[in-house]
Amino acid sequence: MTDDLTQRIQTSLRLLNPNPEAIECPSCDIEVNHICEACFIHGVICDMKREREQLQEQRDVAIKHLAEWCAANEARGGGWDEWDKYYKDAAWRQNLLPEVRDLLNEAIQTAKKKLRL
């Protein structure tokens, strides 16, 4: 699915900008704040592409942390002490997992609210 989405993004960008060597679009005039529809859409797609890449990086950080948590527990005999260290990292240490900390804190709060219902 990711490869398909990447291909669709690249195709869309290529269709909107068939001449990537062109420095400026002849229809756009930045000085008078005019941008053609194709350039606007191209910019929106580029923004979505960057956001997608950022979200993938955040996902990868979260998956890596979970993988380390599971591997450490298995390698050390599966005791709760091993789980406890990684739980504290994820739940309480604000300087760890900075790439996903805000998202994680928000998800924890949402989960806590659901448990109270």
The 8-class DSSP code of residue 98 comes to: T
Domain count across the chain = 1
Contact indicator for 101, 94 with CB cutoff of 8 Å: yes
Can you give the pLDDT at residue 79? 63
Look up the pTM and report it: 0.57
Contact indicator for 92, 60 with CB cutoff of 8 Å: no
37-56 pLDDT per residue, tens: 888 888 888 888 888 898 88
- Find the domain containing 74 and state its range: 2-116
